[in-house]
């Protein structure tokens, strides 16, 4: 190869930008504190495919939010009030684990001072991988086992919270 062709090839940018390229340091930047040569080659960083795969395999399935609208069966007001303390105790472990992040009673109307509330059903915000897990959680609740909630008319709706804040 002639000298002219060699210099022309050297002046062109490398065909593969990720290839190892020597770093040229001008002589003016060299000092006695840097006794090494003016040309340094740095290794090209490489990503390990195995590391990427292991991260994907160890990741947990995505948890999603579900809004549960749980109407009461007609005439179940007295039964609801009777089993309410057991219901509240039963949801505590689910709240602690993050499976239930919000919930409460739906009312026919806000009661006047000193008046007992008239319940219409319940609302619950559950976090699970899928609707089947939410249904499994609900079916263990005493409001279902004692017949308070009307599960034939219950709704489990995929949901995404924008705001969640306690009163």
When pLDDT is cut at 50, 70 and 90, the band that residue 54 belongs to is very low
CATH number at residue 97: 3.30.70.1060
Could you give the percent of the chain with pLDDT greater than 70?
65
Domain assignment present for 2: no
Domain assignment present for 7: no
Domain with 105, as residue range(s), is 70-110+118-158
Domain assignment present for 104: yes
Stretch 117-134: mean pLDDT: 97
CA separation for the pair 116, 166 (Å, rounded): 23
Domain assignment present for 8: no
CA separation for the pair 43, 90 (Å, rounded): 59
Domain assignment present for 137: yes
Domain count, the chain: 1
Domain assignment present for 123: yes
Say what the pTM is: 0.64
When pLDDT is cut at 50, 70 and 90, the band that residue 166 belongs to is confident
C-alpha distances in Å from residue 44, one per residue of 22, 51, 89, 112: 11, 17, 59, 73
Judge whether residue 159 has pLDDT over 70: yes
């Amino acid at each position: 190869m002639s000298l002219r062709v060699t210099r022309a090839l050297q002046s062109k940018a490398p065909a593969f930008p990720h290839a190892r390229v020597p770093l040229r340091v001008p002589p003016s930047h060299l000092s006695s504190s840097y006794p090494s040569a003016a040309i340094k080659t740095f290794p090209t960083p490489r990503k390990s495919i195995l590391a990427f795969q292991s991260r994907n395999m160890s990741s947990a399935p995505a948890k999603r939010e579900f809004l549960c609208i749980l109407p009461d069966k007609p005439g179940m007001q007295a039964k609801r009030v009777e089993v309410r303390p057991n219901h509240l105790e039963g949801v505590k472990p689910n709240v602690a684990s993050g499976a239930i992040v919000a919930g409460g009673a739906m009312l026919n109307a806000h009661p006047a001072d000193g008046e007992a509330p008239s319940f219409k059903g319940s609302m619950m915000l559950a976090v699970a991988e899928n609707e089947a897990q939410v249904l499994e959680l609900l079916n263990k609740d005493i409001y279902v086992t004692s017949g308070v909630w009307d599960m034939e008319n219950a709704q489990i709706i995929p949901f995404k919270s924008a705001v969640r804040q306690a009163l």
